[in-house]
Structure 1
Amino acid sequence: MAAVTRVMCRASAPRLTPSPASRLLSRSSPRASGKVPPGASGAPAHSHGKFTLLERGLVLSSISYVAFEAYKWISEQVVVVHASIKVDDIKEQADYLYGSGETEKLYSLLSQYKNSEDAELLWRLARASRDLSQLSKTAPDEKKKLIYEALDYAKKALEKNEFSFAAHKWYAICVSDVGDFEGTKVKIANAYIIKEHLQKAINLNPKDATSIHLMGLWCFTFAEMPWYQIKIASVLFATPPSSTFEEALQYFQKAEEADPYFYSKNLLYLGKTYLKLNNKKMALLWLSKAKAFPARSEEDKQVQKEAAEILKSMSDKK
């Protein structure tokens, strides 16, 4: 801004030294050469006035051009700053609504910016679309539409910024959701894509508990895969996706270390994984925590219900 001020000051100040154009005109003027006095033959008395006016015109034109360029530069910077502030305001509003569980209001807000070039807005819109699809009151047809819509926004976010860990994370989530409508073959094929983008999200942000939890969920899913699905996967792919409960447990534990009690579902899966590994004492601990976790969303309520059912079945088997 100081540089701009200096430019503006120079542009508005009177010229103290002749410009190159002025000097050129002065050298070509008979009066300037001293050869022909004013009013003499071949040198009209008013010729000097003409050259003076022309010089002034050139100087004023130069001043106007510099001033215009400075004004244009300042205007462009103001537009950029204004756009940046506006995006930050939208993100702040979106994060507040997300934290408040206002899914419908959040989707309504971000839908206005579906053509945005900003990856941060686009992945938030993908998240909002996906969350709206998960509401129990959302009709099946609308649910499917929203899931594919969410995938499209997540993909656009990645195209705008491949270094956004959140864009990778939500792309992985949306690809997983779409698999429910695409059949077993596509679902298994998508597993490789999901794992790849979750790993990229973790690499970009090793402290993001959600990405780590989702990788644990990926491992748990394939560790628990029924034999017939494993057989199908072996026919379709030379090396079908696979994992173990031990690997899943490591990710769930890392997620909890990254952000203790950040997510009721992580508590639930810690309990379920310990149960798969026949460690009933630890399973009881984490399932009890999942059941007691404050319900702030429909998913939390479902987690509470599932944890209570598993705990009851464990009690009945004693």
Structure 2
Amino acid sequence: MSIRLFVRGAIRHLKNRITNPQYGTFRRTTTTVKNSALLLALPPLSYLGYEAYKRMSSVGAVFALDRAEEVLEQADYLYSCGETEKLYQLLLQYKDSDDAEFLWRLARALRDLSILPNIVSEQKKKLTYEAFEYSKKALEKNKSCFAAHKWYAICLSDVGDYEGIKVKIGNSIIIKDHLKMAIELNPKDATSIHILGYWHYAFAELPWYQRKIAEVIFASPPTATYEEALTYFLKAEEVDPNFYSKNLLMLGKTYMMLNEQKAAVDWLQKARDHPAISEEDKQVHKEALDLLKKLSG
């Protein structure tokens, strides 16, 4: 049984306990004891009113929690199907939520919207900054949420594309720190591991003039190698095989940079054959085909 199904079952049990006093065995709780002083000060009718209010409030909280779980399940289903616009419309209803689980998903949906082919440049920029704001809000609401750290790192990197290379490089350490925190909170999240691999790959191929900028910004500029990037990409596959077409592509590209052509071809073929669901998957598919043609030539 999944954790989410277990939680749903527990919620149903709690509903029954609240709405039907005869369900199960009622036991005096610590909370009841703490409230006893307040209850003694209330006249009988006020006491009955208080009990009714307390019961209705509890029922409302449980149903709200159950509804939240259902919406998150629906959101994850839409994401898995690549229904980006429907997902965005669903989550937009919760843009003022204090729950990080809604907010980081909204940031992700906005980012996915920004890379759709029909999005013009100004709209793309607006969506990118909106995604960053919701990722930041998610992190503020719950610093223990691994996905909030992950999407904050991703969205901060995206914003850097509009802020200039100096800002982008300057944010790189912050991005790396949040990715490492995401992995620390959830070592089984293949996406965070993949992105950290991409971080190492990007710094390994940094042009000389960008290295000079990094030297100006940092006393000790970040360094990385293709071997380090490869370690993370392979780890992501170990955690969740074929989880992401971009990881397959990056494995192929990294092996190309390491002059290991056979391994490069193997991984690029896997990227080419991976189901293309999202717009990013389609872009990966095209790049993998182009690189395979280049290698065969």
TM-score clears 0.5: yes
Any gaps of 5 or more consecutive residues in structure 2? 1-16, 23-39
User: RMSD in angstroms over aligned alpha carbons?
Assistant: 1.8
Per the alignment, residue 111 of structure 2 pairs with 130
Q: Which whole-Å CA distance do the structure 2 matches of 1:313 and 1:305 have between them?
A: 12
Q: Within 5 A, what are the aligned runs for 1:97-246?
A: 97-246=78-227
Question: Of the candidates 46, 50, 73, which is equivalent to residue 69 of structure 1?
Answer: 50
Q: Which whole-Å CA distance do the structure 2 matches of 1:5 and 1:268 have between them?
A: 58
Paired AA for residue 201 in structure 2 = F
Q: What is the Cα deviation at residue 157 of structure 1? A: 0.7
Given the superposition, is the C-alpha separation of residues 288 and 5 from structure 1 closer, same or farther in structure 2, using an over 3 Å criterion?
A: closer
Paired AA for residue 71 in structure 2 = I
- Does residue 86 of the first structure (1) align with residue 67 of the second (2)? yes
Alpha-carbon displacement from aligned partner over 1:238-276 (angstroms, at most 9, x marks no partner): 122221101000000000001101111101110111111
Q: What is the Cα deviation at residue 65 of structure 1? A: 2.1
| Other structure's SS at 1:95 match | helix
Q: Which whole-Å CA distance do the structure 2 matches of 1:170 and 1:62 have between them?
A: 53
Q: Within 5 A, what are the aligned runs for 1:296-307?
A: 296-307=277-288
Moved segments of 4+, more than 3 Å: none
Q: What is the Cα deviation at residue 236 of structure 1? A: 2.4
Q: What is the Cα deviation at residue 5 of structure 1? A: 5.1
Q: What is the Cα deviation at residue 82 of structure 1? A: 1.9
Q: What is the Cα deviation at residue 130 of structure 1? A: 0.6
Q: Give the paired residue count.
A: 263
Question: Of the candidates 51, 76, 97, which is equivalent to residue 95 of structure 1?
Answer: 76
Per the alignment, residue 262 of structure 1 pairs with 243
Paired AA for residue 188 in structure 2 = K
Bigger RCO of structures 1 and 2 (CA < 8 A, at least 6 apart): 2
Q: Which whole-Å CA distance do the structure 2 matches of 1:248 and 1:91 have between them?
A: 33
Per the alignment, residue 314 of structure 1 pairs with 295
Paired AA for residue 256 in structure 1 = E
Paired AA for residue 286 in structure 2 = K
Alpha-carbon displacement from aligned partner over 1:78-137 (angstroms, at most 9, x marks no partner): 121122112112111211111111101111111111101111000110000110001011
Question: Of the candidates 251, 255, 258, which is equivalent to residue 277 of structure 1?
Answer: 258
Instruction: Work out which of the two has the higher radius of gyration on C-alpha atoms and give 1 or 2.
Output: 1
Per the alignment, residue 45 of structure 1 pairs with none
Aligned-pair identity (%): 60
Q: Within 5 A, what are the aligned runs for 1:5-84?
A: 62-84=43-65
Q: Which whole-Å CA distance do the structure 2 matches of 1:83 and 1:155 have between them?
A: 24
Q: What is the Cα deviation at residue 312 of structure 1? A: 1.2
Q: What is the Cα deviation at residue 230 of structure 1? A: 0.4
Q: Which whole-Å CA distance do the structure 2 matches of 1:134 and 1:76 have between them?
A: 43
Q: Which whole-Å CA distance do the structure 1 matches of 2:247 and 2:54 have between them?
A: 51
Q: Which whole-Å CA distance do the structure 1 matches of 2:88 and 2:21 have between them?
A: 44
Q: Which whole-Å CA distance do the structure 2 matches of 1:297 and 1:114 have between them?
A: 23
Q: Which whole-Å CA distance do the structure 2 matches of 1:269 and 1:5 have between them?
A: 58
Per the alignment, residue 11 of structure 1 pairs with none
Any gaps of 5 or more consecutive residues in structure 1? 7-58
Question: Of the candidates 275, 278, 281, which is equivalent to residue 294 of structure 1?
Answer: 275
Per the alignment, residue 252 of structure 1 pairs with 233
